Amino acid sequence: PGGRRFNAREEVRTHLAGALSRMAAEGTPPDVITFAGNGEPTLHPDFEAIIDDTLSLRDAHCPGAKVSVLSNATQLHREGVRRALLRVDNNILKLDSAFDATVRRIDNPQNPAYAVRDIVREMKRFEGRMILQTMFLRGVCNGEPVDNTTEEEVSAWLRLVEEIRPRKVMVYSLDRDTPCPTLEKVPREELQAIAARVEALGIPCPVA
């Protein structure tokens, strides 16, 4: 869609099979096989089949490796995507704010109908079989102030965390240059304070 070019399923399988067999033969199998990077992996029309292939190849070549998917959670309404994410070891889903306007400023979702409530509804269907990932930042981007570290933001986000009940929450801040040089990295001490509030809900929350 939208002129995107996806690597064919067979191409992905061939490259992955070669890489895993080579790494296994060299005695350096990967700890984790991660789908992430530029773009959204779950947009691939053959995402479920690619995950099936990956799990089979992992079992054959590197049975100790975990399979992780980092997703922006916008495709959870597709049953094939949901089935695939339930099969991987680490189903990592992103939610950067409880407020639609803040998500639009931070993540610029392409769907004009994007709504946090819809994303949360789909996340709840995993019944805890997911990891929630949130990036905290503040500053100005495209002339718009953005700050998801305020008490209003954090309290609303914590209510959603409690509603979703993921098995783990991961919090982090900017770790590299961004398109908006006016965005600030949140100090680790602040992230740790947010993480402590998550852990008070009985949910593990490492700070990256």
Domains of the chain: residue spans and CATH: 1-92 (no CATH), 95-208 (3.20.20.70)
**Residue 4 pLDDT class (50, 70, 90 cuts):** low
pLDDT at residue 135 is higher than 80: yes
Comparing CA positions, the residue from 90, 76, 153 lying closest to residue 120 is: 76
Residues 6 or more apart in contact with residue 86 via CB below 8 angstroms: 126, 129
Residue with the two structure tokens 């209003």: 152
The CA distances from residue 24 to 13, 20, 49, 61, in Å, are 16, 6, 23, 6
Distance CA 67, CA 90 (A): 6
Name which residue leads in pLDDT, 86 or 176.
86
Token pair for 42: 């779950």
Alpha-carbon torsion 43, 105, 150, 179, what sign? positive
This prediction's pTM: 0.93
Q: Which of 163, 158, 162, 108 is nearest to 134 (CA)?
A: 158
* For residue 1, pLDDT beyond 50: no
Note the pLDDT of residue 195.
99
Contact status, residue 103 vs residue 114, Cβ threshold 8 Å: yes
Quote the percentage of the chain above a pLDDT of 90: 84
Q: Report yes or no: 186 and 136 within 8 Å, Cβ to Cβ.
A: yes
Q: What is the pLDDT of residues 95-118, one digit of tens each?
A: 999 999 999 999 888 888 999 999
Q: Token pair for residue 74?
A: 């916008």
pLDDT at 179: 61
